[in-house]
Amino acid sequence: MNASAHDLAAQLPPEFTLGVATAAFQIEGALDEDGRGPSGWDVFAATPGSIVNDHSPAIACDHYHRMPEDVALMKELGIDSYRFSLSWPRIQPGGSGPVNPKGLDFYDRLIDLLLANGISPMATLYHWDTPLELDEAGGWMNRDTAYRLGEFAAIAAAAYGDRVARWVTINEPATVSANGYMLGVHSPGEAHMLKALPSVHHQLLGHGLAMQALRAAKVPGEIGLTNVYSPMVPASGNPLDKVSAGLMDMAQNRLYADPVLLGKYPDAIRAATFFSSFSPSGEDMELISQPLDFYGLNYYMPTRVAAGPGEGTVPKGMAEAMGNDLNGGGSGTPFHIQSFPDTEITAYGWPIKPDYMAVALAEMAERYPDLPPVYITEGGASFEDLEIHDADGRLIVPDERRVRYLAEHIGAAIEATSPGGSAESIELRGYYVWSLLDNFEWSAGYKQQFGLIHVDRDTMARTPKASFYWLRELMAARKQRAATGGEPVPAAGGGAESAREAANVEGTAGGAAPDAAGTAAG
């Protein structure tokens, strides 16, 4: 384990940012305190049956009361940057109108404490906790919510603009639309299926308006948004599987990235809108495609897609882990997600494929020639961690699989974007580990744990896991190298082709990897 931290330290480019990420609703708790207003997620989570074991976010990690302790842990880690989200209902309880001074004050203290400890703040404006009043007025199906996000951005800029190093306007609009408005397995629990398209456009417009507000306030920090990206891999060379993977690619990746980076929706979406009333104006598209300072990319896994309904829309274990029966009545779906053969999976059932981290970056580079610098704004894995007690009763969490996941994914991202790598044109600026703490994992409650730090659900005691110590060692090794003038080690591989060959990955819908026909396994 130590060796890999040192090897990785040698590969890190000198200015590379390493950080950890969280989101307000997943860690803060204190939902009814100090003037916070309710969010749609408060109501959704309180509805019996929506969250695994009906777990409650009411306390989460109690971060609202333990923030200084958590910043001290980050200081101990030695990370460069912390990505957190501003709770919209804590700062502006009704989603419009008056602000809550105590809410503003919480993030003021957080930001100051981070800076005092040499940690640069990356603030996400919207990480899913929509103020309830806005959800009741239609949430993201209502265009007005986009304007409200713009207004919230102006409030945040005035309060923290002088100190925030990086702004993320919205986090993973794809997950909000797919889970919240198409399938109804996240707040606000609506299952509009294809009729959910306005929620996509309104979130992207909200990003544009938030960006406009931040620019108008002349914040010195960099501004971007975060999209999740999953390379779509046809399950076989069968043309129907390829078409299915292409459709998934469009629905989950391109639908959210093309408008921002190319200024237009994918052709297939525009063709579909022929049958609906959805037709975005040129003005909207200009707002959505304003130049970004950086692009935030969350990578967790690739997705293997096959034609036909299969046994369910997603593999059984995955559907159960999410806490929702995604497969209920799903026999009518035109395609489905399959497991990768012979592949290790996380507790969520997600395939562990670090080589596809490189594919994700290569596809992004290929599709978007004007891609701005990239931060991997999230990456990590949930496992059922082993919990051991030593002779003195102290908890030890040897989460070696998480260490391996992080080391391999960070390594793959750096290698792919180094000279000769498959995505060498990308300026990769950093990687944020999801997540600092075991936290409230949305519909999976506390069942899926991604933390570098274990949180005791009864006492809220924090116990750093092996992965915490590994990251601490990585940071220390990098610092040591910088002090002794250690030269970064060049990435392995002799050119884009050999990097792909070395990765030996199946072809994807994006075409950055070898064609599926040759390598498909099923």
Q: Are the C-beta atoms of residues 466 and 386 closer than 8 Å to each other? A: no
Q: 62, 80, 172, 506: which one contacts ligand BGC (CB under 6 A)?
A: 172
β-sheet bridge partners, residue 21: 83, 434
Answer positive or negative: Cα dihedral of 475, 301, 228, 125: negative
* Residue (418 or 449) nearer to ligand BGC, CB: 449
Q: Are the C-beta atoms of residues 166 and 294 closer than 8 Å to each other? A: yes
Return the residues of window 282-311 that contact ligand BGC according to CB under 6 A: 298
Return the residues of window 26-65 that contact ligand BGC according to CB under 6 A: 26
* Residue (410 or 520) nearer to ligand BGC, CB: 410
Quick one: which of 285, 299, 428 has its CA closest to 365?
Answer: 428
* Residue (19 or 78) nearer to ligand BGC, CB: 19
Binding mask 173-202 for ligand BGC (x = CB under 6 A): --x---------------------------
* Residue (299 or 499) nearer to ligand BGC, CB: 299
Q: 11, 17, 120, 171: which one contacts ligand BGC (CB under 6 A)?
A: 171
- From residue 314, how far is each of 45, 328, 355, 478 by CA, in Å? 23, 11, 22, 41
* Residue (327 or 346) nearer to ligand BGC, CB: 346
Structure-token match 């001290």, residue found: 72
Q: What is residue 421's DSSP assignment?
A: S
- What is the smallest separation between the CB atom of 7 and ligand BGC, expressed in angstroms? 27
* Residue (107 or 128) nearer to ligand BGC, CB: 128
- What is the smallest separation between the CB atom of 440 and ligand BGC, expressed in angstroms? 8
CB atoms within 10 A of CB 118: 11
C-alpha to C-alpha distance for 442 and 444, rounded to whole angstroms: 5
Residue 434 found at the interface with ligand BGC (CB under 6 A): yes
- What is the smallest separation between the CB atom of 130 and ligand BGC, expressed in angstroms? 14
- What is the smallest separation between the CB atom of 227 and ligand BGC, expressed in angstroms? 10
* Residue (5 or 347) nearer to ligand BGC, CB: 347
Quick one: which of 6, 8, 3, 1 has its CA closest to 409?
Answer: 8
- What is the smallest separation between the CB atom of 116 and ligand BGC, expressed in angstroms? 27
Structure-token match 């990235």, residue found: 257
Q: 42, 135, 363, 441: which one contacts ligand BGC (CB under 6 A)?
A: 441
One-letter identity of residue 168: V
- What is the smallest separation between the CB atom of 113 and ligand BGC, expressed in angstroms? 23
From the list 151-159, 170-178, 327-335, 366-374, the region that binds ligand BGC by CB under 6 A is 170-178
Active site residue 415: no
240: phi then psi, degrees, rounded to nearest 5: -70, -35
- What is the smallest separation between the CB atom of 448 and ligand BGC, expressed in angstroms? 7
C-alpha to C-alpha distance for 28 and 92, rounded to whole angstroms: 16
Q: How many residues bind ligand BGC (CB under 6 A)?
A: 11
**Catalytic-role residue among 190, 378, 424, 506:** 378
* Residue (73 or 347) nearer to ligand BGC, CB: 347
- What is the smallest separation between the CB atom of 444 and ligand BGC, expressed in angstroms? 8
Return the residues of window 103-162 that contact ligand BGC according to CB under 6 A: none
Q: What is residue 131's DSSP assignment?
A: B
One-letter-per-residue 3-state SS of 264-299: CCCHHHHHHHHHCCCCCCHHHHHHHCCCCCEEEEEC
From the list 134-142, 169-177, 206-214, 470-478, the region that binds ligand BGC by CB under 6 A is 169-177
Answer positive or negative: Cα dihedral of 184, 436, 403, 120: positive
From the list 98-106, 167-175, 283-291, 357-365, the region that binds ligand BGC by CB under 6 A is 167-175
Q: Are the C-beta atoms of residues 225 and 86 closer than 8 Å to each other? A: no
Helix (H, G, I), strand (E, B) or coil at 345: strand
- What is the smallest separation between the CB atom of 252 and ligand BGC, expressed in angstroms? 12
* Residue (265 or 442) nearer to ligand BGC, CB: 442
Q: Tokens in use for 162?
A: 């002088």
Return the residues of window 213-272 that contact ligand BGC according to CB under 6 A: 228
DSSP string, 209-271: HHHHHHHHTT-SSEEEEEEE---EEESSS-HHHHHHHHHHHIIIIIHHHHHHHHSS--HHHHH
C-alpha to C-alpha distance for 356 and 350, rounded to whole angstroms: 13
Q: Are the C-beta atoms of residues 505 and 513 closer than 8 Å to each other? A: yes
Active site residue 172: yes
* Residue (280 or 451) nearer to ligand BGC, CB: 451
From the list 171-179, 212-220, 461-469, 489-497, the region that binds ligand BGC by CB under 6 A is 171-179
Q: What is residue 487's DSSP assignment?
A: P
Helix (H, G, I), strand (E, B) or coil at 169: strand
- What is the smallest separation between the CB atom of 380 and ligand BGC, expressed in angstroms? 7
**Catalytic-role residue among 172, 424, 473, 506:** 172
Binding site for ligand BGC (CB under 6 A): 23, 26, 171-172, 175, 228, 298, 378, 434, 441, 450
Q: Which residues are catalytic?
A: 172, 378
